Structure 1
Amino acid sequence: MELSITRDGLRLHALLECPGHDRLCPIVILCHGFGGSMDAYPGSLYQRIAERLVARGVAVLRFDFNGHGRSDGEFSHMDVLNEIEDLIAVLRYVRSRTDVTAIRLLGQSQGGVVAGMVAGLYHDVIDRLALLAPAATLKDDALAGTCMGRSYDPDHIPDIVKVPGAGEVGGHYFRIAQVLPIYETTARFTGPALAIHGLADDIVDSKASRRYGEMMPNCAVSLYPRLDHGINGADGDKAVDEVIDFLSV
């Protein structure tokens, strides 16, 4: 079922998939990464995860962050803080439903950063948290003045930074990223958590997931030698199996 969730006048495009009509069940909110979308097409990572969770009796709500996919907004206006606001709006919608027994978050890359921070903010609401290649190093990159191969002066950030493969990113994105309390906020979540990272990830170092494991009191960390940032590679199926098992308890 396609949905439109409004946040501060912006329409966020969402897709809700349930295991049965009016059936009480847990729900997973899935958060995509920087420059991506919910990827609702056959064979995509998020589609495979959604189909398998629904088959296990777990509902899945996917959405496009502002400035991404089919949601309103300009990509150049996006930053981690307003993506947190997006997820809070989606969470508000989910909490209004009467068929939800537990709320779980799954975030990949920058979506993992957002999911983790919202889990920390709503530690009394979120039941489980899963992170796939969480991009917490975006703060380190912003302090160093680099983003996906594009360099800039971190002490004099331009209004627009053209990032290869992504587009124009607003300078405010990097100014905010430099001071984000990513791990500190996420560490307020004390429920079951899982961080999965590939050692073949050449975009986000696996030290990010290791740090999540150190900061959260109940976080397991799984490192896969043959897994890249997109959760592709020879270990891809094993990683997906692990996240499905974790989220469908």
Structure 2
Amino acid sequence: MPSGKITFTGHAGHALAARLDMPDGPHLATALFAHCFTCSKDIAAARRIAARLAGLGIAVLRFDFTGLGHSEGEFENTHFSSNVEDIVQAAKALSDRDMTPTLLIGHSLGGAAIIKAASLLPDTKAVVTIGAPADPAHVVENFRDALPRIRAEGSAEVYLGGRPFRVSKDFVEDVNASDLEAILGKLKPALLVLHAPRDELVSIDNAARIFMAAKHPKSFVTLDDADHLITRPDDAEYVAQVITAWVSKYVELTPPAPPPGAPEGIVRASEADPRGFLQDIQSGPNHHTYADEPLAYGGTNKGMSPYGFLSTGLAACTSMTIRMYARRKGWPLDHVRVDVSHDKVHAQDAETGTRDRVDQFQREISLDGALDHDQRARLLEIADRCPVHRTLEGSSKVLTKLVD
């Protein structure tokens, strides 16, 4: 997944830092991600979601609001409405690249800002909120004790997440004046609300208010015991999975037709967690799964082992080949089942580098239907013509090169 740094001009003329995550394959759509209050574009949840969407063919722009992260400007001079304006400017920067965003994603206060921005961006097809407040003024709860000083002095330094930020009176007045529920009632894009029942910063009733205020199409998915910042890798991964499964219903993701004679495409394995063995497996823009090792070998057992995928290819290809032949012949084959076992353990072979024995696959085929003896025998012969079978029995060559 190519990821490049770019800048664009924010609402007040400052240079805002952004990262554009591009698909390796066809670019099918574009998303815009708005981070949480006082966070940055590089939080774990944003990175994970961007990576998954890019694997689906969706480019993702995530940026730092004015005065945060690597963006220019003073946080003290910003407010909720300026965040919305920054989002609109980010969408314009994408449109200037012929990448007009159709999917908007916002985390926490960024989710509230995304809802308001969607009403200003007519090309938006889908909106996703993650742990978002129904009322932007909810963010004031983070520094309520400082409100008297902010009102008296015009601004005050507060500590959020252990870091100092100077919050202005204008910010407080602006979030208090924002009416998100009125905007939700007129929202045209599809809406997905993601929220954790145990969120201690933005309670789950906010999700209920957002969901009830919006019109259909709308969806709600609980994030169970995730925290507000989606800090655990498993939770960030789940959020990414849900968004990618949901968005394809509302955003056109039809890939361009491959040229005649083109191979099926590239299968990519990317580390999901460098501390273990879990791999994101992406095949083209539409198919995603996991590869992993069993718990006994240091994995998390969230996906098949590499040898499991090898056996899967043989089993699936065998079943498909038998079905195609029986269908062409008009034979009464009701159901095919293929069981394949492989006499190796990937984790063990990876450690020992074993190469001196021939691989053996045990394949058992079950054919249901009113087939006679000759038909069953013929289908058993056809199984050996499966392309994966022939590939495994033949000699293969793997050409490897290191790329940047």
Q: Under a length normalisation based on structure 2, what TM-score does the superposition of the two structures give?
A: 0.55
Q: Could you say which structure has the higher helix fraction? A: 2
- Inter-partner Cα distance in structure 1 for 2:246 and 2:192: 8
1:79 and 1:161, CA in 2 relative to 1: closer, same or farther beyond 3 A? same
- Inter-partner Cα distance in structure 1 for 2:197 and 2:152: 31
Residue 37 (str. 1) matches residue 33 (str. 2): no
Match of 1:118 in 2: 117
Match of 1:193 in 2: 191
In structure 2, list runs of 5 or more residues that go unmatched: 250-404
CA contact (8 A) 1:133 1:204 kept: yes
Match of 1:71 in 2: 71
User: Which amino acid in structure 1 is aligned with residue 247 of structure 2?
Assistant: L
CA offset at residue 236 of structure 1? 4.9
1:47 is paired with a residue whose SS is helix
Q: Could you report, residue by residue, the CA deviation over 1:159-207 in whole angstroms, capped at 9, with x for unpaired residues?
A: 1233222421112100111111122123322221101111111111111
Residue 160 (str. 1) matches residue 155 (str. 2): yes
User: Which amino acid in structure 2 is aligned with residue 133 of structure 1?
Assistant: G
CA offset at residue 154 of structure 1? 9.8
CA offset at residue 140 of structure 1? 4.5
Residue 88 (str. 1) matches residue 83 (str. 2): no
1:55 is paired with a residue whose SS is helix
CA contact (8 A) 1:16 1:59 kept: yes
CA offset at residue 149 of structure 1? 5.8
Match of 2:171 in 1: 173
CA offset at residue 232 of structure 1? 4.0
1:94 is paired with a residue whose SS is helix
- Inter-partner Cα distance in structure 1 for 2:142 and 2:155: 12
In structure 1, list runs of 5 or more residues that go unmatched: none
Q: Could you report, residue by residue, the CA deviation over 1:188-228 in whole angstroms, capped at 9, with x for unpaired residues?
A: 22221101111111111111111111111122122233122
User: Which amino acid in structure 2 is aligned with residue 19 of structure 1?
Assistant: P
CA contact (8 A) 1:199 1:228 kept: no
1:236 and 1:118, CA in 2 relative to 1: closer, same or farther beyond 3 A? same
CA contact (8 A) 2:143 2:158 kept: yes
Q: Could you report, residue by residue, the CA deviation over 1:11-61 in whole angstroms, capped at 9, with x for unpaired residues?
A: 01111121147x442111010011111017xxx211111111111111111
2:102 is paired with a residue whose SS is strand
2:119 is paired with a residue whose SS is helix
CA contact (8 A) 2:134 2:209 kept: no
CA offset at residue 151 of structure 1? 4.3
User: Which amino acid in structure 1 is aligned with residue 218 of structure 2?
Assistant: C
User: Which amino acid in structure 1 is aligned with residue 238 of structure 2?
Assistant: K
After superposition, residues 159-238 of structure 1 pair within 5 angstroms as 159-165=154-160, 166=163, 167-217=165-215, 218-232=217-231, 236-238=236-238
Identity of aligned residues (%): 22
Q: Could you say which structure has the higher strand fraction? A: 1
CA contact (8 A) 2:45 2:236 kept: no
Match of 2:241 in 1: 241
1:223 and 1:39, CA in 2 relative to 1: closer, same or farther beyond 3 A? same
User: Which amino acid in structure 1 is aligned with residue 42 of structure 2?
Assistant: D
1:164 is paired with a residue whose SS is strand
CA contact (8 A) 2:36 2:109 kept: yes
After superposition, residues 140-159 of structure 1 pair within 5 angstroms as 140=138, 142=140, 146-148=141-143, 150-153=145-148, 156=151, 158-159=153-154
Report the RMSD for the aligned CA atoms in angstroms: 2.4
- Inter-partner Cα distance in structure 2 for 1:248 and 1:50: 15
Residue 9 (str. 1) matches residue 9 (str. 2): no
Q: Could you report, residue by residue, the CA deviation over 1:91-144 in whole angstroms, capped at 9, with x for unpaired residues?
A: 1122233355x511000011101101011222x3101100000133442564xx
1:125 and 1:231, CA in 2 relative to 1: closer, same or farther beyond 3 A? same
1:156 and 1:163, CA in 2 relative to 1: closer, same or farther beyond 3 A? closer
1:152 is paired with a residue whose SS is helix
- Inter-partner Cα distance in structure 1 for 2:75 and 2:99: 34
- Inter-partner Cα distance in structure 2 for 1:140 and 1:133: 12
Number of aligned positions between the proteins: 240
CA offset at residue 158 of structure 1? 4.0
CA offset at residue 235 of structure 1? 5.1
CA contact (8 A) 2:136 2:178 kept: no
User: Which amino acid in structure 2 is aligned with residue 32 of structure 1?
Assistant: H
CA contact (8 A) 2:53 2:240 kept: no
- Inter-partner Cα distance in structure 1 for 2:79 and 2:86: 11
CA contact (8 A) 2:27 2:57 kept: no
CA offset at residue 90 of structure 1? 0.7
User: Which amino acid in structure 1 is aligned with residue 113 of structure 2?
Assistant: V
CA contact (8 A) 1:28 1:60 kept: yes
2:112 is paired with a residue whose SS is helix
